[in-house]
Structure 1
Amino acid sequence: MLTDEQAARTWLAALPEWTPVAEGRLERLISALNVENQQQNLVAAATLDRVWLRHVADSAQLLSHVPRETSNPWIDLGAGAGFPGLVIAILRPDISVHLVESRGRRIAWLNTAVEHIGLANVTIHGARLEQVETFPVRVISARAFAPLPRLIDLSARFSTADTVWLLPKGRSAAHELQDLAGWKHLFHVEQSLTDPEAGVIVGTLIGPDRSGKKG
């Protein structure tokens, strides 16, 4: 379990995706985030002193559930401040990352951040998810986007048999998964590396379940 900024940075530096270029880009992201957060509440102000732990490592831990050979693309729903989407794009410049965000000021921030950092592998969809054209993806991530049933209803059309779902859900992860009905899946909860009370729902979606069973 990572507990502080130093531990988070040490863990990040040991990742196979870590490079001097990635480190520099993450530094630029954090610097820009601190400035923009004074204009709009992208993240809770109290978390800025723990940004490497609370946002960067918290995002990067998702990569441990994705094989290195995983191909394009990755879609991040409700991208907001850019976590985990921008962190993934920085650490995996070989993957095309699609960020979906409908709020105007967040869209403006994401565009500014992508340009400031110099990311060529990011596509921003400035629209509600319902308005985004369907395309198959290899990874779906969503951090605080919607309750699990609603999230799956909205995004299942992007999923294939090979799509990995990575859904940080905080302390509600196990409860939401237990109560999920209407879908056949191979989801399970992984312990978060950055929060002892949080979990990440990980797995694949099989398809609709007409039996009405939960879990």
Structure 2
Amino acid sequence: MSNAESPQSPPQIFWRIDEWFPDLSPEVRAGLKAYHDELQKYNRTLSLISAKSVFVADALHFADSIMATKAIVKSNSHIDKVYDFGSGNGFPGVVFAIMNPKVQVVLVDTDVKKCEFLNFAIQALNLKNVSVENKNIEALPADSVKWAICRGFGNISKAILMARKIVVKGGSVYHLKGEEWGIEVGEIPTQLCSIWSPSLVGEYKLPVGAVKYGVVRTEKIA
């Protein structure tokens, strides 16, 4: 059979986390791989990640969440409980939980099916420090959140507007952003700037590609 007639091999699904992050413990890397397996399995029916990112989820989703988690924890070692606003596919909340088993992580999302997946994945991975709240973040009790993270939840202004009643004074929301983070900070309305103080926690590049990513912290000051 000629090459032209040969059946095409399915595209390779990459997993390079062990190579990129040898500093992570074997237990953490095994947990991340297990989550990757569950994500690939259920993505066919739930569209947890885009079809274009399925084969490089290790870079676009896992490496991004790993590097952001490191930046957040380095900047704030006092986090003992964190909410993942609009968790959806579990990024970065599940990754944060696997890397920090002593931190309680609450995954919040309005999508019933995705919350069902998250609950299943938590059980499959035996994550004792994770819970799921199937609700809008604005339905959380007032002043109930001290630390929160979000990725792909909308722009910074939208996130802090929705979080204004539930985050306590002195609490913070950490936003995982691409190169446009500076533009989003500049677009925060003046009235929100009197309540929230933004700062850059860290910038990083993924192990592949040249795009810079950033973690922006908005601290509630009033």
TM-score of the aligned structures, taking structure 1 as reference length: 0.83
**Inter-CA distance 197–169: structure 2 relative to 1 (3 Å threshold):** same
CA distance in 1, matches of 2:103, 2:90: 16
Are 1:43 and 2:49 an aligned pair?
A: yes
Per the alignment, residue 122 of structure 1 pairs with 130
Structure 1 gaps of 5+ residues are 209-215
Residues 156 and 184 in structure 2, CA contact (< 8 A), matched pair in contact too: yes
Structure 2 gaps of 5+ residues are 1-13
Per the alignment, residue 12 of structure 1 pairs with 21
Task: Give the SS at the match of 2:161.
Answer: helix
Aligned residues: 201
Deviation at residue 135 of structure 1 after TM alignment: 4.7
CA displacement 1:136-164 (0-9 Å, x = unmatched):
44431111112221110111334345534
Of 188, 203, 209, the match for 2:217: 203
Per the alignment, residue 61 of structure 1 pairs with 67
CA RMSD of aligned residues (A): 2.3
Of 152, 164, 173, the match for 2:160: 152
Per the alignment, residue 22 of structure 1 pairs with 28
Per the alignment, residue 85 of structure 1 pairs with 93
CA displacement 1:85-131 (0-9 Å, x = unmatched):
00001110000001100011111111111111110101111011111
CA distance in 2, matches of 1:82, 1:13: 23
After the TM superposition, which residues 65-214 of structure 1 pair with which residues of structure 2 at under 5 Å, given as runs?
A: 65-67=72-74, 69-160=77-168, 162-181=170-189, 182=191, 183-184=193-194, 185-188=197-200, 190-194=202-206, 196-207=210-221
The structure in which a higher percent of residues are strand is 2
The structure that has the greater radius of gyration is 2
Q: Which moved more, 1:161-170 or 1:101-110?
A: 161-170
**Inter-CA distance 156–10: structure 2 relative to 1 (3 Å threshold):** farther
Deviation at residue 165 of structure 1 after TM alignment: 2.9
CA displacement 1:167-214 (0-9 Å, x = unmatched):
122233111111112224142374332263343242242436xxxxxx
CA distance in 2, matches of 1:175, 1:24: 37
